[in-house]
Structure 1
Amino acid sequence: MTVSAPRAAVVGGGITGLVAAYRLRRSLGPDAEITVVEASERLGGTLRTARIADGPLDVGAEAFIGRRPEVPALLNELGLSEQLVHPAGRRPLFYAGGAVHPMPPGTLMGIPSDAAALRGMVDDETVQRISAESDSPMTWRVGGDVSVAELVGGRFGEQVLRRSVDPLLGGVYSGLSDSIGVRAALPTLAAALDAGASSLTAAVTRALPPPSSGPVFGALRDGYGVLVDALVSATNARTVLGTQVVSIRGERRGWRVDPIGHVDVVVLAVPAPALARILADTVPDAADAAADIELASSVVVAMSLPPATELPDNSGVLVATDAGLSVKAFTLSSRKWTHLGDRETPLLRASLGRFGDTAALEMTDKELVEVATQDLCTVTGLDVAPVETVVQRWRGGLPQYAPGHVERVSEIEAAVRGVPGLAVAGAWSHGVGVPACVASATRAAAAVSEVAR
């Protein structure tokens, strides 16, 4: 009897889907029929490397957490280890209260462990409030969850949220302290509070990571596009672009994936709203939980500046949400990354857009460049016109880890776990960064590989 080659469909062609397809190829062998279906006209999802000033520059995700092993290990597998680079070691600034400030020490996602950390960045009344915070009893419910704003704002006040916490959450999630839950975004802080920390400052002190001499971040010398291309080549899958999967339904053996047909196994590596639509009839409990995960949009404006422009000697500037500016952060790319600093033309990225605010998406490219250059002048004093620009809009690019997110993810995964030949993965689950997406994809591929063999 002839045994047919296993057939697998990966829905979603972002980094999660591409890694899942690659893992399936490694597991199922060269004869497996693997199809990657992507709703847009390009692969890579929120990873995109553009050319500016005669060289590559990432205009989506640009870095990954250095202490996590997933990306370096994947680069090694693909023969790309020489692409790994680390930052130059410069620190970011915060723009708050009409001035720039050094990044506060002793903070966890901008939440201070003592009042001295934010002195000068917030007013004296707020400093006194932080100092006296330990005198107020904690009202944390063990095992519960609240928004970061509810926890921190109630103890430290609005200025701490808008000037210290929001800028950092905006960089990770394109979100706000109001839209992000403590337990998913700050698990070590939740654990410290569960363990009975007497105050929020005490909990932050306990939750801070131990000092490390290693690099905080890593990146690819020639951009994430190199990784995307290598995964596509190594996977050698059939790719279907510009096609949205409407639904999947189980058959006697395997799955019917509309519109591509029958396969043995399916990995759904799509954003949460798409996951909810696809699973609505097949796994309704998972669909209901996924429908509660909202998305934030953002815009990146990449610029090259005149060669003589002297950028601040910092990695970037994070902007307070009460500063009255449109840009939420500037990445001073030529200062942050040594390999970019070697170019003759200074490079930077302006980031705009937060959860619930779509104004930046509606601006024209010209308007976005004008706003970005105006805000750059306000924040750094640089009154320059860019030589070259690239505008990248990310509609629904990042999931919001709202209060209760951990439970929602558990519900999705529990509902899917009992369905043979189906797995789910993505930035909506256990982290929005590239390492977390690689780990999520690896787990999903492993979960269905046995069924496909």
Structure 2
Amino acid sequence: MTGPQVPHVVIVGGGISGLTAAHALATGNNPPRITVLEGSPRLGGKLAGDVLEGIPVDLGAESVLARRPEGVDLIKAVGLGGELVHPATTKAGLWVGDGIHAIPPTVMGVPAEAGAVADVLGPDAAARVAAEAGLPAPGLTEDVSIGRYVAERMGQAVTDKLVDPLLGGVYAGRAEDISLAAAVPDLFARLADAPSVLAATADMQAAGKKRAPGPVFAGVRGGVHKLITALADDLKARGVEIQTKTTVRRVSRAAQGFTLETGPAVAPVLVEADAVVVAAPALPASRMLADVVPSATAELASVEYASMAIVTLAVRREAWPEGASGSGFLVPSVEGRTIKASTYSHAKWEWSREASGDLLVLRASVGRLGEEYVLQRSDEELVALAASDLRKAIGLDTPVVASLVTRWGGALPQYSVGHLDRVDRVERAVAAIPGLAVCGAAYRGVGIAACVASGTRAATRVRDHLEPLVRMKA
């Protein structure tokens, strides 16, 4: 033990998952001594912000799923409850052909009403969707590719123009490669005994309408990235030590706990800990855990990641096209555009509009799995390509006043078929090592709320391990 009664927990990774784990431990009973080690120069992982022409902007994630309590509860816990806001609109469209079309009722792109997809897919494709109800019942018990499965049941057009853009907005991946069980677990569960996919999605839509009313998403006035600053300040006030620019290369078992190797390879610095939470992406996690959990190494290393970029633009307010409504639009990859989505920040967030003066802020997402070559273009080229696509999509024909290009290399883990089984195997292997836990977007959800839940579970595991040690020393 590192002290007579106070054990030492080291958390590797200062993204939202790792900081949440630190917060859960620091605010629980008998808080241990906590050290957070982050390899990059800043905290927050994929949560980051900046100022563009005096306007606060999010450069990564910009909302929290409000129908899950974890993210909103954390925002309140670190003193930002008064800054909690909800989107003014979440009505997004699809850029298909020469215009923006309303997204029909779907469950992550899987249609819930056959007749409603005709505007986007055409009458023949809509008829194919309707015919799905006459196919043999799914009886689905094993994981499948959501893109391939939906194409087989409802036609390729559904996957290409509905499932692909909606999943692409979450994973920046290909629908043909993404796990149905991991990406849409509620739908997967229903397909075990539903008479058809259409029946399952219709039931889910109906259940959603009966749910207690309330916003689906939430944010923070000035940007959800403010959560990181507030969280870090809260942790420091509670005595948590936070070190940036500190890469952990290896975690090893010690006589009473663990040893972490940090610092330069030629002059390593060893850190002793009674418990460790690894909140790093899958590949670096696999490397640092190779000695202590070798059975999990290959599993973690097999998780693929997609890279993407956010192009944030400021344009003159008076130039905004009258017909461009809603919160933005998604773009099916089969349309061959550079951008995969655009969010009208000024329309989605009232605080952004209020801060904009005579400008308006919007952003575009660029890059999908396998399209890393797109991100090799210069910032100027990406801005020009995004502006060109916006001109074609909504008629935004005006010079860009200012811009920011934020590149997220290896940002989004891909949940391939069998992902949840893979995660189960990793978590069982880790659970066999007392005092060790893992968390992050690589496991059971990529959104902020899911990552907060993951960090909280890791903290609970560590706390359960430490409690008998504390009693022994008391």
TM-score by length of 2: 0.91
Structure 1 SS opposite 2:375: helix
| Partner residue, 2:203 | 206
- Counterparts in 2 of 1:142-181, with a 5 A limit? 142=141, 144-181=142-179
- 1:267–1:444: 8 Å Cα contact kept in structure 2? yes
Cα offset, 1:367, TM superposition: 0.6
Cα offset, 1:314, TM superposition: 0.9
The 1-side partners of 2:347 and 2:87 are apart by 9
Of residues 419-428 and 241-250 in structure 1, the stretch that sits farther from structure 2 once superposed is 241-250
Cα offset, 1:243, TM superposition: 2.8
The 2-side partners of 1:66 and 1:332 are apart by 20
| Partner residue, 2:441 | 427
| Partner residue, 1:216 | 216
- 1:189–1:203: 8 Å Cα contact kept in structure 2? yes
**AA at the equivalent of 1:170:** G
Match of 1:263 among 264, 273, 277: 273
Structure 1 SS opposite 2:68: coil
- Counterparts in 2 of 1:337-352, with a 5 A limit? 337-342=349-354, 343-344=356-357, 345-352=359-366
Structure 1 SS opposite 2:335: coil
Cα offset, 1:28, TM superposition: 6.6
| Partner residue, 1:231 | 231
The 1-side partners of 2:132 and 2:34 are apart by 56
- 2:309–2:367: 8 Å Cα contact kept in structure 1? yes
Instruction: Provide closer, same or farther for how the CA distance between residues 307 and 114 of structure 1 changes in structure 2, counting only shifts above 3 A.
Output: closer
The 2-side partners of 1:256 and 1:90 are apart by 47
| Partner residue, 2:121 | 122
The 1-side partners of 2:301 and 2:50 are apart by 32
Instruction: Provide closer, same or farther for how the CA distance between residues 269 and 90 of structure 1 changes in structure 2, counting only shifts above 3 A.
Output: closer
Of residues 442-451 and 245-254 in structure 1, the stretch that sits farther from structure 2 once superposed is 442-451
| Partner residue, 1:360 | 374
Structure 2 SS opposite 1:398: strand
Cα offset, 1:225, TM superposition: 3.0
The 2-side partners of 1:87 and 1:141 are apart by 36
- 2:339–2:365: 8 Å Cα contact kept in structure 1? yes
The 1-side partners of 2:119 and 2:217 are apart by 28
Structure 2 SS opposite 1:322: helix
- Counterparts in 2 of 1:319-398, with a 5 A limit? 319-342=331-354, 343-344=356-357, 345-398=359-412
Cα offset, 1:307, TM superposition: 2.7
Note the aligned Cα RMSD (angstroms).
1.8
| Partner residue, 1:439 | 453
Whether 1:111 and 2:114 are equivalent positions in the alignment is no
| Partner residue, 2:100 | 100
Instruction: Provide closer, same or farther for how the CA distance between residues 193 and 90 of structure 1 changes in structure 2, counting only shifts above 3 A.
Output: closer
| Partner residue, 2:245 | 242
**AA at the equivalent of 1:296:** A
- Counterparts in 2 of 1:44-63, with a 5 A limit? 44-63=44-63
The 2-side partners of 1:48 and 1:90 are apart by 22
The 1-side partners of 2:196 and 2:256 are apart by 56
Cα offset, 1:138, TM superposition: 4.2
The 1-side partners of 2:416 and 2:148 are apart by 12
| Partner residue, 1:137 | 136
Structure 2 SS opposite 1:153: helix
**AA at the equivalent of 1:176:** R
- 2:99–2:394: 8 Å Cα contact kept in structure 1? no
Q: Which sections of structure 2, spanning at least 5 residues, go unmatched? A: 263-269
Task: State percent identity of aligned pairs.
Answer: 39
| Partner residue, 1:190 | 188
**AA at the equivalent of 1:96:** V
The 2-side partners of 1:246 and 1:154 are apart by 45
Whether 1:15 and 2:16 are equivalent positions in the alignment is yes
**AA at the equivalent of 1:222:** G
| Partner residue, 2:296 | 286
| Partner residue, 1:42 | 42
Deviations 1:132-171 (A, max 9, x none): 12222245542x0111111111122222112111111011
| Partner residue, 1:273 | 283
Cα offset, 1:328, TM superposition: 0.3
- 1:192–1:206: 8 Å Cα contact kept in structure 2? no
The 1-side partners of 2:149 and 2:434 are apart by 41
- The count of corresponding residues between Structure 1 and Structure 2 is 449
Cα offset, 1:9, TM superposition: 0.8
The 2-side partners of 1:365 and 1:220 are apart by 28
**AA at the equivalent of 1:52:** L
- 2:307–2:409: 8 Å Cα contact kept in structure 1? yes
**AA at the equivalent of 1:198:** P
- 1:6–1:28: 8 Å Cα contact kept in structure 2? no
Of residues 236-245 and 124-133 in structure 1, the stretch that sits farther from structure 2 once superposed is 236-245
Cα offset, 1:114, TM superposition: 2.7
The 2-side partners of 1:176 and 1:307 are apart by 35
Cα offset, 1:179, TM superposition: 2.1
- 1:169–1:175: 8 Å Cα contact kept in structure 2? yes
**AA at the equivalent of 1:220:** V
Cα offset, 1:90, TM superposition: 4.7
Cα offset, 1:391, TM superposition: 0.7
| Partner residue, 2:325 | 313
Structure 1 SS opposite 2:50: strand
- 1:283–1:416: 8 Å Cα contact kept in structure 2? yes
The 1-side partners of 2:280 and 2:202 are apart by 37
Structure 2 SS opposite 1:194: coil
Structure 2 SS opposite 1:245: coil
| Partner residue, 1:407 | 421
The 1-side partners of 2:335 and 2:148 are apart by 21
**AA at the equivalent of 1:274:** P
Q: Which sections of structure 1, spanning at least 5 residues, go unmatched? A: none
- 1:90–1:313: 8 Å Cα contact kept in structure 2? no
Structure 1 SS opposite 2:121: coil
- 1:15–1:438: 8 Å Cα contact kept in structure 2? yes
Cα offset, 1:206, TM superposition: 2.7
Structure 1 SS opposite 2:334: coil
- 2:96–2:120: 8 Å Cα contact kept in structure 1? yes
